[in-house]
Structure formats: structure tokens, C-alpha cells
């Protein structure tokens, strides 16, 4: 019980740190899914949160955080899906994204790390598979080294 409470506290700290780093909500409706997404520099995370989730905290490392909600059900609960992705920068260099699913209570998050250079714009192309339905999420993020 104590470990679960500690992990939940860390997750809340993690979510709060992400919310403060984002100026506007990033959400796309893809069929019956509400897809919430963000990409931030890993230094926005506290050392404790980064350690708890196995995230490398570096000036050149970013974190992609995606959550999927089922908009066909009451209270739009979190939904478990399959997710793969790739990213490319403006000169066409490809970077693979390896997502891992994190479950904390009723919440489900998909996290992937990505390396970047200062003022590098990364274009994300993520395939989300929900049963037999496939959806594509595309977005871009410019990263800065602090």
C-alpha cells in the first residue's frame, strides 16, 4: 500500500510538471479516441520522477507522453492500445520511438524518449492500434537545450 501511494504521488508530480511546461492542451480526436499528447525536454522532470520512471534526464533528451481516452464511454476512461512511432528532424534523419505503457490506477500513459539538438524541430508520426482500427497521430515540436 505504501509503495502504491508513493508511486501515485510520483505520478501526480510527473503530471503536474508536464502541465506546467505546456502552454496549451494538445489533443486530437481520432475516431472514438481522444489522444492527449506532449513532447518536452527531460530536464523539466524532477530527478525523483525521472528516476522512478527510468527516464534519462539530460539537456539533449526529450520525453513524449501520450494518453488515450475512450470517448464512447461515460467519463472517457483511459484505454490501453498498441503504439509504435518514428520521428524525423528537418534534414530527414529518422529516429525510432519505443513506447512503454505506464499504468497508475485508472490512468494509462505511453512514454518514449528522444534525443535532440538545440533548436531542433522533431516531426512525430505515431501509429495507434485500437483493436482492428488504426489511427495516425502527427505533430511537431521544437526542442531547446537549456
Query: Domain total for the chain?
Result: 1
Residues 6+ apart with CB under 8 A from 47: 57
Can you give the pTM of this predicted structure? 0.82
Residue 94: give its domain's CATH number: 2.60.40.3340
pLDDT, tens only, 45-86: 999 999 999 999 999 999 999 999 999 999 999 999 999 999
Expressed as residue numbers, the domain containing 35 is: 2-143
| pLDDT per position as a tens digit, 36-50 | 999 999 999 999 999
More confident residue, 91 or 10: 91
Distance CA 11, CA 9 (A): 5
Amino acid at each position: 500500500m505504501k509503495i502504491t501511494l508513493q508511486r501515485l504521488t510520483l505520478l501526480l508530480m510527473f503530471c503536474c510538471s508536464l502541465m506546467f511546461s505546456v502552454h496549451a492542451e494538445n489533443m486530437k480526436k481520432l475516431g472514438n479516441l481522444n489522444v492527449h499528447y506532449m513532447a518536452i525536454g527531460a530536464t523539466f522532470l524532477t530527478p525523483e520522477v525521472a528516476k522512478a520512471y527510468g527516464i534519462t534526464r539530460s539537456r539533449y533528451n526529450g520525453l513524449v507522453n501520450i494518453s488515450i481516452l475512450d470517448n464512447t464511454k461515460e467519463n472517457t476512461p483511459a484505454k490501453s492500445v498498441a503504439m509504435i512511432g518514428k520521428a524525423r528532424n528537418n534534414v530527414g534523419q529518422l529516429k525510432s520511438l519505443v513506447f512503454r505503457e505506464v499504468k497508475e490506477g485508472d490512468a494509462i500513459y505511453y512514454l518514449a524518449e528522444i534525443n535532440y539538438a538545440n533548436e531542433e524541430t522533431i516531426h512525430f508520426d505515431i501509429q495507434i492500434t485500437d483493436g482492428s482500427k488504426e489511427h495516425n497521430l502527427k505533430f511537431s515540436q521544437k526542442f531547446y537545450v537549456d
